[in-house]
Amino acid sequence: MDSLDLQVLAQARDWLNEGHSVWLVTVIETWGSAPRPPGALLALRNDGFVVGSVSGGCVEDDLIERVRLGERVDRPSLVNYGVTKEEAARFGLPCGGNLRLVQEPLRASGWIDEVLARTERHELVARRLVLETGDVTIESARRDDAFTFDGLTMRALFGPRWRLLMIGAGQLSRAVAPIAMALDFDVICCDPREEYHMTWDVPGTTFSNAMPDDLAVELVLDPHCAVIALTHDPKLDDLTLMEALKSPAFYIGALGSRGNTQKRKERLKEFDLTEEQIDRLHGPIGLDLGSKTPAEIAVSIVAEIIAVRNGVALVQKKTGSSVPAVAN
């Protein structure tokens, strides 16, 4: 569900529409320490131009060389790399890693248009490829679905970009934004306070001066969203958290000390929230990294968001956090 894969599809479609021959290459299986996971995607043009990655290096070089030497697969086929230790080393697959790929000609771009349109609407979709015929169908998918390949059919997932809604346009938000964007988040900063929003100038982000709780409702927060309240102003933070905690957003956190976090939770009880919903709040926000500066605090916040997104046990939580640490 990496947005890079959506960019690969968009570029492949454009190349095809310009008259080029294009092949899609998908990682279907790995063993050992292969660098890219199943579902990772690459598009290869007939003149050797490439976008995306399946290994991060020598495998791409070999695929390009095959095309330049005239190899033109006309139906989906399997490609194996790293079967022997020597070959694994040659193709940059450490520790005897192995890589299995599906290479297929891109025959039409209509299905790509559908994938891009539906993911833009924040839908999660699956692309089903029948290897024997090359037939492609697009279907709805669920968040707990995974990439699958049974030897006959490949089913790959494409989803909306991860979104991060930040409440507050202060120094900490400026530090968080570029880190989150580097980790593939679409970053939205919201602050109605004129003294803050007039100076927001972080490239690549979206800014809103709407009331944050209204924006949270407007965005229709989904399981691909994280929300962090960073203003220290209860009038802005609490109402936004109320909306976020009722949503399926995968991470909701708020800046503040242990004491302020407890007071905030008491205030949230006055709203129409259950204990279970309130207990989803991460506060004090971030992992315990001994952070002092805005940049260090930003790292701790984004690290916690990534840990929650990846389902990793939170063993580095701050003492007294509303979401307790999980023991090793």
How far is Cα 113 from Cα 111, in angstroms, rounded to an integer? 5
**Distance spanning both ends of the chain, measured CA to CA:** 29
Residue-level pLDDT at 93: 55
Residue-level pLDDT at 90: 59
pLDDT at position 34 over 70: no
Q: What is the mean pLDDT of residues 146-166?
A: 91
How far is Cα 79 from Cα 122, in angstroms, rounded to an integer? 33
Query: What are the pLDDT digits (tens) for 262-276?
Result: 999 999 988 889 999
Residue-level pLDDT at 88: 55
Residue-level pLDDT at 65: 86
List domains and CATH numbers for the chain.
Answer: 3-158 (no CATH), 162-309 (3.40.50.720)
Rounded (10°) CA dihedral 10, 14, 16, 21: -90
pLDDT at position 301 over 70: yes
Q: What is the mean pLDDT of residues 120-132?
A: 91
Query: What are the pLDDT digits (tens) for 184-225?
Result: 898 999 999 888 777 888 998 999 999 999 999 999 898 889
Which tokens is 18 given?
């310009």
pTM above 0.75, yes or no: no
Residue-level pLDDT at 3: 72
Q: Of 190 and 55, which is predicted with more confidence? A: 190
Question: 284: cis peptide before it, omega within 30°?
Answer: yes
pLDDT at position 241 over 80: yes
Strand order in the sheet with 77-81: 50-52, 41-45, 22-31, 98-105, 77-81
Q: What is the mean pLDDT of residues 164-185?
A: 94
Residue-level pLDDT at 271: 84
The rounded mean pLDDT for the chain is 87
Residue-level pLDDT at 70: 82
Q: For residue 274, give every residue at least 6 positions away whose Cβ sits within 8 Å of its Cβ, in sequence order, or none.
A: none
For residue 70, give Cα distances in angstroms to 16, 25, 46, 80: 18, 17, 9, 19
Residue-level pLDDT at 295: 95
Residue-level pLDDT at 126: 95
pLDDT at position 120 over 90: no
Extract the runs of DSSP E, i.e. beta strands, from the chain. 22-31, 41-45, 50-52, 77-81, 98-105, 125-130, 136-140, 148-149, 153-158, 162-167, 185-190, 206-208, 225-229, 251-254
pLDDT at position 247 over 70: yes
pLDDT at position 96 over 70: no
